[in-house]
């Protein structure tokens, strides 16, 4: 009877570590696959976010240079919408939709459009930085305008046009 018990213990002594090692290997492979997929999705998300910012800056360049917008602007927008739907975080998705809703339904309200665009950019930065970004709307405006005086003129103009100072 002891020989049978010793044989079972010997088999278990070999079998249990082998099973544990095999399970560890399987878990490690699955974890690596998940990391690879997350990296691929992250790359696509960042490309979509960069596309939004690039499109805006291209429009800004065209306006400053007096050129008309690209003819394939609508196609680029559809591609960006698709990419944000697939890869963007929920907060970026909602901010992106809000921007298009506001810009479509309030085309004359430049301040509102700029505000929702700034909100979109802040959401993108928050997602990309892992909620560590401390930038605010004025920081982004300074980046665009390159002068605190210009930012103040922007705010003053908005006060006058909204009837606050009239």
Q: Is residue 109 part of a domain?
A: yes
- The per-residue pLDDT for range 110-120, each reduced to its tens digit, is 788 888 999 99
Q: Residues 6 or more apart from 69 whose CB is under 8 A from it?
A: 59, 62
Q: Is residue 40 part of a domain?
A: no
Please give the tally of structural domains in the chain.
1
- The per-residue pLDDT for range 26-43, each reduced to its tens digit, is 999 999 998 988 888 889
Instruction: Write down the pLDDT at residue 165.
Output: 40
Instruction: Write down the pLDDT at residue 166.
Output: 39
More confident of the two residues 58 and 1: 58
Q: Is residue 46 part of a domain?
A: no
Q: Is residue 161 part of a domain?
A: yes
Mean pLDDT of the chain: 84
pLDDT > 80? residue 133: no
- The per-residue pLDDT for range 9-30, each reduced to its tens digit, is 888 888 889 899 999 999 999 9
- The per-residue pLDDT for range 143-164, each reduced to its tens digit, is 888 788 888 887 877 776 665 4
CA 58 to each of CA 25, 44, 50: distance values in angstroms, whole numbers, following the listed order: 49, 20, 12
Q: Is residue 36 part of a domain?
A: no
- The per-residue pLDDT for range 92-103, each reduced to its tens digit, is 999 999 998 888
Instruction: Write down the pLDDT at residue 163.
Output: 54
Q: Is residue 62 part of a domain?
A: no
- The DSSP symbol for 164 reads S
- Decide if 92 contacts 49 (C-beta within 8 A): yes
User: Residue 108 is part of which domain span?
Assistant: 89-166
Cα(71)–Cα(17) distance, rounded to whole angstroms?
65
């Amino acid at each position: 009877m002891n020989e049978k018990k010793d044989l079972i213990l010997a088999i278990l002594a070999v079998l249990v570590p082998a099973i544990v090692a095999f399970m560890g290997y399987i878990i490690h492979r699955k974890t690596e696959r998940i990391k690879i997929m997350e990296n691929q999705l992250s790359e696509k998300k960042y490309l979509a976010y960069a596309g939004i910012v690039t499109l805006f800056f291209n429009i800004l360049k065209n306006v400053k240079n007096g050129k008309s917008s690209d003819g394939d602007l609508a196609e680029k927008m559809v591609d960006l919408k698709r990419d944000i739907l697939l890869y963007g975080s929920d907060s970026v998705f909602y901010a992106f939709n809000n921007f298009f809703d506001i810009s479509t339904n309030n085309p004359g309200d430049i301040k509102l459009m700029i505000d929702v665009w700034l909100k979109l950019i802040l959401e993108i930065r928050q997602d990309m930085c892992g909620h560590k970004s401390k930038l605010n709307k004025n920081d982004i405006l300074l980046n665009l305008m390159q002068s605190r005086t210009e930012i103040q003129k922007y705010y003053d103009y908005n006060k006058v046009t909204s009837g606050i100072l009239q």
